A and B are shown apart, each in its own frame.
Chain A
């Protein structure tokens, strides 16, 4: 199905449109001045707030907005979802009060201390990827580097074989990038994901290990084991939410440094700036836009929202709002005050934020240890992903100086 290109994002918003995929930031700015809540009849009805204030208000309002389905698609919202409040992939797709129960099960595994223990594994993985790139003058920082790092970490966390990584990336593509397919084709495309996870869960039931699948199979909510659907949904969530997000964040950071040699030189000379640089890359190039569904007819900031309308919840747009951030459109790697919302706001704060930050930090540290000058290789295209997670998928670079 080929959709017509968007002519006015204010009235015909589509986050999968080529113009948005290529460079959403000027569109956000234009809409923020004109709207600031864009609308569309696509996907059965969609609203896209572009201000920090509106995004924060919706993220914190679980009374009027449900997380039952968080990937905008053509299906009737909720058709393929478990009934609220559990949703297909708890806790991301859960509403209160079940949400907190499902979230508390997973939080300890993603708290700072257990994540810090994964740092040596991450560093080794990054170093190995860089060794494989060896002395090549032309490399692809997405295909040869960024995409492999979160895959390795998620496989390790779940207790799944490292060599299954290639399949995980395909699963992510099916779930997040196939949103334009008709609902029945989407369900069909989902089959291999279902088969793989079901087999992995079955395998862990027979042979428990110390990974997250075994942990979830063993966990209890009020004295009962989790349903198979709950375990299955949470594993899908970890694979889908933990891979292309961090891959995008690492890729966008390297993309920025390739485009801004003065920031690259500054980070090499002042590695103590890396923590604030990581936060600034997260703010300016926040990969993830979430979605909500309107629970019942409801007027929000003058917009007549209807039951089951989609909300495109753009944390990237919130992060570029000049009413919330000084010099919002400038990337300042030493920004001191930075209340960015790259990991969301409210009860659905990204479960893996500590993991993502650790991966980004280690990935950039190891990269900058090897490559001290690089630029985009403009003889090949740089491409960005389409959908609710944005980041470079092809990032061809020319290495100019290495250590």
Chain B
């Protein structure tokens, strides 16, 4: 499972990098950046799902 971020949908709410700072960061405008682009381990997966479930813009999808 990997993190898929739709940067067109991201509006910089900042939920992902607050909840999962090991997986997401942001640029100078507050737009999200993915730090871990490869396969997620179990611990990362739980955090990534939390970020997905708190994104108001549905910009994050955790999938293959």
Q: Which residues of A contact B (CB under 8 A)?
A: 104, 107-108, 110-112, 275, 279, 336-341, 343, 345-347, 349, 353-354, 357
Contact = CB atoms under 8 A, between A and B. Distances in A.
Nearest to B17: A112
A345 B56 contact: yes
Contacts of B50: 336
B56 A339 contact: yes
11 contacts: A104-B29, A107-B12, A107-B29, A111-B26, A111-B29, A112-B17, A275-B18, A340-B56, A343-B13, A343-B56, A346-B57
B53 A107 contact: no
A354 B55 contact: no
Contacts of B18: 275
Nearest to A337: B53
Report the 4 A-B pairs with minimum CB-CB distance, sorted nearest first. Answer: A337-B53, A349-B11, A107-B29, A111-B30
Contact of A279 (B11, B54, B58): B54
Interface in B6-63: 11-14, 17-18, 26, 28-30, 50, 53-58
Nearest to A279: B54
Nearest to A104: B29
A108 B54 contact: no
A112 B26 contact: yes
Tell me the dominant secondary structure on chain A's binding face. helix
B29 A346 contact: no
Contacts of A357: 14
B9 to A, nearest CB: 9
B53 A108 contact: no
A338 to B, nearest CB: 6
Nearest to A343: B13
A326 to B, nearest CB: 11
A219 to B, nearest CB: 14
B14 A353 contact: yes
A108 B56 contact: no
Given A339-B54, A345-B56, A112 B30 contact: yes
Contact of B58 (A104, A111, A339, A353): A339
A108 B17 contact: no
Among B13, B14, B18, chain A packs the most CB atoms within 10 A around the CB of B13
Nearest to A338: B54
Nearest to B28: A108
